[in-house]
Structure 1
Amino acid sequence: MEIIEVNLLEALRGVLTSPAEAQPERFREQVMEPLRPVWEPIRRYMPPGADGADPALAVARTLKLYRPELDAESGLGALDTLAAADVFGQNRAALEQAVQALNPGQNGISLQEVHLVLTLAEPGGLGEDGYTGAGNTPGWVMLSVWPQALPDGADNFCRLPAITAHEFNHNVRFAQPDWTFPMTLGAYLVAEGLAECFAAELHGEASLGSWTTTLREPELRALAPRYGAALLEQDFGLVRGYIFGDAVMENFGGLSGKQAKLGIPPYAGYALGYHVVRDYLARTGRSAAQATYDPWRVIVAGSGWFTVTDGGQER
């Protein structure tokens, strides 16, 4: 499998050091155009008219990417920090490790190439963690970070290798028949749980973000019956609501007048999915890498979190 490097940090540096009047167009050409395969599909989930006359810039704002309209000096300082830490090199190595661990070719998954993308995020745009990733586009692993210290004092960009593992796991999982549209909540829940368990398997549980670790098991046990009753739900708006929670959906424009709030805490689907898959692994002795190729219904049934009726409907 070929790894194609798309290090947009240096592209952004070129944008921020160019004359002010040239920056918007250079940003579109040098940062957003290489990312088009990732952001073009996102437009369909944006509120009507949200992308206006400049879709690339509108999506950049939605994704909280660093843009020319922000302070150039601060952006250049952040780019220096990431370059000095060789963040791109560290995550290329993490991607190579993930490829070796999952060995998709030997498991019937044909991935000829994978693009590794690193972008600078808008300061404060990605919450308290300051970093995120995306692996929903086949053949693409995108990372985004604004360098900052985490509550435990660690640099947040040191957690990115776990994100790289998580997102590449998605690439492999989403290439399987288990992941089809319209997808079920159960398939999505297990996909996020597998990705987090795989990241923990390679980089340790301490590498996981707050989206997985904030909610504790008693809170998740209380939520589990609601998820169990909705595991076969296929309305993508509702499915996303169960995964991301009300506040996140509202922040990114995912709640509309047709969709009432579900009363789901932020990122509850990530946390619950992680516990479901973790318990499945503990009960079966399988690794997260091995379980990446198991059907979601098998994982749900073997996790102990839900009861499966004789009719096959998870409850």
Structure 2
Amino acid sequence: MKIKTLRSDYIYQQVAQASPEEKLELFRNEMMAPFMKQWQIQQIPFKAEEANGFDVIAFNSMMHRSPNQITPQISAEIGLISSESFWLECEHAVKKSLHLFVEQGINLPVSDYLFTIQLGNPESRALAINEGYSGFGGIPGFIWGTLLPNEYTIPRMKVALSHECNHNVRYQFIQWDHTVNLGELIVSEGLAENYAAFIFGEEWLGPWVTKTNAETLNRRIKPVLREQLQVTGFDKIGPYLYGDEIAKLQNFKPVNMPYSAGYACGYYLIRSYLRKTGKTIFEATITSAAQILEEVKGFWDEETIINS
């Protein structure tokens, strides 16, 4: 297994010093090009044919600092993600999160991995709702962390990376296509957050779980989600998974769901599955959502206890 770190701090320093007309292509070639295979899978053009058209830069700038924002004025921000200890901690989290599966006898079809951390866009409302950090790991071989660097988010980056590594493993075994439904997404997010908690402890759970109390989960979320598990199409899935506020930001129709409803529900559903079946988080990660949901049918009717 080969795990490569793309040191974004070096790239940010380079782009910050570049002239305004050089920034865009420098950023595209240094930060975006190493992830070329991901863009191809996601069908996002690497470079738009027309000026200001949709491409990887436009897509990336929704959640992250855009090339024209990377100037000497944000050197303090770049400095916050430039320490060797920060990158070693992130690298260790990725290596451990992937290697643990191999140690459990699960052979991963993908052998090459690339990860990086990007500076978040301070104007992104979605990132603010997530308390300043996030990640993406749904395409095997590629793992991203995103943060608005501060004393709260920096130590949490390793945990977010572990969550994303779990997605990265799952989708080497579970087929992702247009038929993916809400049930799969709830299971997938629940597995990823349980995995991060397994490695780092429940005190590191993300706001996508901790902001939901027992009353909201049992009375408001579970009764609705149980009826929507077969819903497909991301415009339909998104509002149940992320909640209304983020759904509106993505121009999806709100469905009267609180923040990260699907994430919180998924976390407790998988916790219930692991306790009921005695399966390990490693076994569960490569198990189909249909099988998991079948095993925990009782979850929807039982009162979920949340330890504050």
One-letter amino acid of the structure 2 residue matched with residue 141 of structure 1: I
TM-score by length of 1: 0.84
The match for 1:201 is: 198
Q: CA deviation at 1:34?
A: 2.7
Whole-Å separation in 2 of the counterparts to 1:207 and 1:189: 20
**Aligned amino acid, residue 249 of structure 1:** A
Shift of 1:284: 2.3
- The equivalent of 2:94 in structure 1 is 95
Are the structure 2 counterparts of residues 85 and 288 from structure 1 closer, same or farther at C-alpha, using a change threshold of 3 Å?
A: same
SS at 1:262 equivalent: coil
Cα deviation, residue 225, structure 1: 2.0
* Map of 1:130 onto structure 2: 132
Amino acid at match of 1:67: S
Are 2:241 and 2:262, in contact at CA under 8 Å, matched by a contact in 1? yes
Closer/same/farther in 2, CA of residues 52 and 294 from structure 1, 3 Å limit? same
> Would the aligned equivalents of 1:104 and 1:172 in 2 still touch at CA under 8 Å?
no
Given that 2:243 and 2:259 are in contact with CA atoms closer than 8 Å, whether structure 1 keeps it comes out as yes
Q: For residue 18 of structure 1, report the CA deviation from its aligned partner.
A: 1.6
Q: Tell me, what secondary structure is at the counterpart of 1:183? A: coil
CA distance in 2, matches of 1:292, 1:218: 28
Aligned length: 292
Return the match for 1:144 from 143, 146, 170: 146
8 Å Cα contact 1:120/1:145 also seen in 2: yes
Return the offset for 1:169.
Answer: 0.6
Q: Find 2:260's aligned residue among 263, 267, 271.
A: 267
SS of residue in 1 equivalent to 2:128: coil
Is the contact between residue 17 and residue 72 of structure 2 (CA under 8 Å) also seen in structure 1? no
Deviation, 1:24, is 2.4
Runs of 4+ that moved beyond 4 A: 39-44
In 2, Cα distance between the equivalents of 1:208 and 1:299? Answer: 22
Q: Matches of 1:131 and 1:170 in 2, distance apart?
A: 17
Distance 1:74 1:209 in 2: 30
Match of 1:305?
299
Shift of 1:124: 4.8
CA–CA separation in structure 2 for the residues paired with 1:54 and 1:80: 30
Question: 2:274 maps to which residue?
Answer: 281
Give matches, 1:131-210, under 5 Å.
131-149=133-151, 155-177=152-174, 179-210=176-207
Work out whether residues 9 and 120 of structure 1, in 8 Å CA contact, stay in contact via their aligned partners in 2: no
What is the CA deviation profile of residues 6-35 of structure 1, one whole-angstrom value per residue up to 9, with x for unaligned ones? Answer: 222211210001223322232222223334
Partner Cα separation in structure 2 for residue 122 and residue 184 of structure 1: 29
Instruction: Measure, in 2, the Cα distance between the counterparts of 1:204 and 1:112.
Output: 27
Post-superposition shift, 1:143? 0.8
Comparing 185-194 with 171-180, greater Cα deviation is found at: 171-180
Do the aligned residues in 2 keep the contact of 1:27 with 1:68 (CA within 8 Å)?
yes
Asked if 1:220 corresponds to 2:217, the answer is: yes
Over the aligned positions, Cα root-mean-square deviation in angstroms equals 2.5
Counterpart of 1:295 in structure 2 is: 288
Q: Name the counterpart of 2:66.
A: 67
- CA–CA separation in structure 1 for the residues paired with 2:36 and 2:251: 21
1:290 CA displacement: 2.6
1:239 and 2:254 are equivalent in the alignment: no
In structure 1, stretches of 5+ residues that fail to align are 45-50, 150-154, 308-315
What is the Cα deviation at residue 84 of structure 1? Answer: 2.4
Give 2:24's aligned residue: 24
Distance 1:108 1:233, change over 3 A: farther
Alpha-carbon displacement from aligned partner over 1:25-49 (angstroms, at most 9, x marks no partner): 32222223334444565577xxxxx
* SS in structure 2 at match of 1:175: helix
Give the residue type in structure 2 aligned to 1:298.
Q
Aligned-pair distance for 1:72?
2.1
CA contact (8 A) 2:101 2:107 kept: no
Percentage of pairs with the same residue: 24
